[in-house]
Amino acid sequence: MKRIAVLVSGGGTNLQALIDAQARGELGNGEIAAVISTKPGAYALERAAKAGIAGFVLPRKEFESNRAITVALVALLRKLDIHLVVLAGCMTIFTSELVEAYPNAIMNVHPALIPSFCGPGYYGLRVHEEAIKYGVKLSGATVHFVSEECDGGPIIAQKAVEVRTDDTPEILQKRIMEQAEWILLPQAVKAFCDDRITVEGRTVIIR
C-alpha cells in the first residue's frame, strides 16, 4: 500500500472527497495515513479524526521561515513513511526541499484550467473572480504534480466546467468543486497509487 499524507490549512473539502473515495474503496493501493495542517484548529483535522486518520499540526507561525517549516515537514513525512503528498487547500508555500524529497510525488488541485488563472496569488476565490471578470465560457480544475514553479508542474488531469452568465465567484467555486475537483483528485491519487502514472518531461502518461 502507498501511504498518503494530505496537507491542509482550512475546511478540507478536497480532503473529504479523498476520505469518501477511500471509504468506497476507490483509492486503489493507496491509504490516507496522515493529515497535516499548517493551521491549528483547522476543520480538516476534525474530518480526519472522524475518519480515524492521524492528524498532525505544524503551525506556520511557529517557524521563522517557509524553509524552516518545509524542513520540519519533510522530516515528519519521512518519519511517517509517506509515498504521496497531496496539497488540499494548504496555504503555505513550501520551499525546494519538499520537491527534492518527493519528485513527481506531490499533487495539487488548482481550481482553473492551467495555464489560465494560475501562478503566484491565484488561489481561493480570486481564481473564480478573475475567470468571471475575463468572461471565459469554460473554467474547471487541474490536478498537477508540484514543482518549484508555482502551478507549473506536469499536468495529470483536467476537467472543464461551464461558466454561466449569472455566476458569482462562490457559485462557480462550488460547481467546479462538485463537477471537477472532487472527481479528478481521487482518480489521480488512485492512478499514482496503482503505479499507472509515468512522467516523461512535462508529459504525464496514465496507463
Q: Identity (one letter) of the amino acid at 22?
A: Q
The pLDDT, as a whole number, for residue 91 is: 86
Tell me the pLDDT of the chain averaged across its residues.
96
Cis peptide before 115 (omega within 30 of 0): yes
The pLDDT, as a whole number, for residue 97 is: 97
For helices 169-176 and 125-134, angle between their N-to-C axes, nearest 10 degrees: 110
The pLDDT, as a whole number, for residue 49 is: 98
- For residue 74, pLDDT beyond 90: yes
The pLDDT, as a whole number, for residue 75 is: 98
The pLDDT, as a whole number, for residue 101 is: 98
Angle at 45 between CA 178 and CA 156, to 5 degrees: 45
For helices 43-50 and 13-23, angle between their N-to-C axes, nearest 10 degrees: 10
Q: Could you tell me if 190 and 28 are in contact, meaning their C-beta atoms sit under 8 angstroms apart?
A: yes
The pLDDT, as a whole number, for residue 4 is: 98
Q: Could you tell me if 63 and 69 are in contact, meaning their C-beta atoms sit under 8 angstroms apart?
A: yes
Look up the CATH architecture of domain 108-207: 3-Layer(aba) Sandwich (3.40)
Tens of pLDDT, residue by residue over 80-138, are: 999 999 999 898 889 999 999 999 999 999 999 999 999 999 999 999 999 999 999 99
Three-class SS state of 112? coil
Q: Rounded mean pLDDT of 24-47?
A: 97
The pLDDT, as a whole number, for residue 14 is: 97
43: left (phi over 0), alpha (psi -120 to 50) or beta: alpha
The pLDDT, as a whole number, for residue 153 is: 96
| Beta carbons within 8 Å of 89's beta carbon, 6+ residues apart | 8, 9, 10, 11, 12, 13, 14, 15, 44
Tens of pLDDT, residue by residue over 41-62, are: 999 999 999 999 999 999 999 9
Domain-by-domain residue ranges, the chain? 1-102, 108-207
Percentage of the chain lying above the pLDDT 70 cut: 100
pLDDT band at 166 (very low <50, low <70, confident <90, very high): very high
The pLDDT, as a whole number, for residue 89 is: 87
Same topology between domain 1-102 and domain 108-207 = yes
The pLDDT, as a whole number, for residue 27 is: 97
Tens of pLDDT, residue by residue over 168-204, are: 999 999 999 999 999 999 999 999 999 999 999 999 9
The pLDDT, as a whole number, for residue 164 is: 98
The residues assigned a catalytic role are 110
State the CATH class of domain 1-102.
alpha beta
